[in-house]
Amino acid sequence: MEDKDELIAFLRRVGEMADDDINLAEASLALGALQRGNVRLTPYRDHLEQLSSDLAAAAGSDPSSVRTVMARADILAGVLSSDYGYVGDQLTYDNIANANLLDVIDRRKGLPVAIAILYVSAARSVGWSADGLSFPGHFVIRLDGDDGSVVLDPFNGGALLETHDLQRLLQQMGGAAAQLNPDMIERLPNRDILIRLQNNIRTRLVDAQLVEKAIEVAERMVLIAPQKPLLWFELGQLCAQAGRLRASEKAFQHCLAANPSSELAYEIKKALGQTRRQLN
């Protein structure tokens, strides 16, 4: 079984890493192991290595020789979707297991961001350039080749998404007035991908009024992104809701130390004052 303290220490190191140095899959496995508990990660690491090996084999044992982006997209989707059956969970979308990479590997289905982590990690493992995008609501990825880039939807079998597809998807989620803008298809940093993965779990736990479990997830989020003031603020709010006032005070103090915007700083000081009044 994985040692909890070692997993926490690893995630703390992730929080100190440069973004490009973060191994998305390994960090996601550690987050999943902490959530599940009493688990060995070796079989899951072996599975990721097998995905990489099979992807390389499908590329003709020399992935660098596959230069066109459409060829790369076809091979990537063929291995992840067709060979291994990874697909989005349409029927039980809100199941928390869909955001735990261990469960996703076990079940071969999950949320868009979880399936996307497998696609991106597999592509990178063979030397192909792949990134998550900041598209709202439905996580998609960009895959690059010598001749350009394409946007893929891992949730739907690695389907190719053109600009009009993204516009239609955006309007389905945000209404007819929603308009696609360039910021929505910008590269999302690795750390933010992990935060997006964990936020799915935290939100579902809060909705289920499982505040203590939500606090555990929020604590993992600040481990991997200690310089994000909003995460500390949200942790402080959860701790206050649970009556853990000292922990709430500490989280709000960390939030101020992380250089929040002036608007957020006002909200933090207001919440910190309320917490301290309850403590006195």
Dump pLDDT digits (tens) for 95-129.
Answer: 999 999 999 999 999 999 999 999 999 999 999 99
Same-domain pairing of 150 and 257: no
Which of 153, 185, 217 is where one domain is finished?
185
Residue 89: what pLDDT? Answer: 98
Q: Is residue 195 part of a domain?
A: no
Our count of domains for the chain comes to 2
Residues 126 and 242 in one domain: no
DSSP H or E stretch at residue 164: helix 163-174
**Statement to judge: residues 136 and 53 lie in one domain:** yes
Domain shared by 143 and 234, yes or no: no
Least confident piece of the model among 59-63, 142-146, 208-212: 59-63
- For 85, the token pair is 């059956």
Nearest to residue 118, comparing CAs of 77, 166, 148?
77
Do residue 166 and residue 238 come from a single domain?
no
**E strand intervals along the chain:** 87-88, 109-110, 130-132, 141-145, 148-153, 159-161
- Helices 211-224 and 245-257 cross at an angle (nearest 10°) of 30
In this structure, the answer to whether residues 161 and 271 fall within a common structural domain is: no
* Residues 172 and 99 both lie in one domain: yes
For the chain, the average pLDDT equals 96
Inside any domain, residue 200: no
Residues 174 and 255 in one domain: no
- Do the Cβ atoms of 81 and 158 come closer than 8 Å? yes
User: Taking a C-beta distance cutoff of 8 angstroms, is the pair 166, 160 a contact?
Assistant: no
**Rounded Cα distance, 32 and 41, in Å:** 10
Task: Among 157, 185, 213, give the residue marking a domain's end.
Answer: 185
Residue 194 lies in a domain: no
Same domain as 246, residue 147: no
* Whether 70 and 172 share a structural domain: yes
pLDDT of residue 61: 84
Domain carrying residue 92: 4-185
pLDDT of residue 280: 78
Say what the pLDDT of residue 1 is. Answer: 81
Integer Cα distance of 40 and 234 in angstroms: 31
Query: Is 208 a member of any domain?
Result: no
Q: What is the pLDDT of residues 24-50, one digit of tens each?
A: 999 999 999 999 999 999 999 999 999
DSSP 238: H
The answer to whether residues 129 and 13 belong to one domain is: yes
Question: For position 16, what pLDDT does the model report?
Answer: 98
Nearest-10 crossing angle of helices 262-279, 229-241? 30
User: The domain spanning residue 26 has which CATH number?
Assistant: 3.10.620
- pLDDT (0 to 100) of residue 255: 95
The residue among 134, 166, 185 that closes a domain is 185
Q: State mean pLDDT over 186-204.
A: 98
Residues 122 and 24 in one domain: yes
Three-state SS at 145: strand
Residue 13 lies in a domain: yes
Check: CB of residue 1 under 8 Å from CB of residue 40. yes
Q: pTM for the full model?
A: 0.96
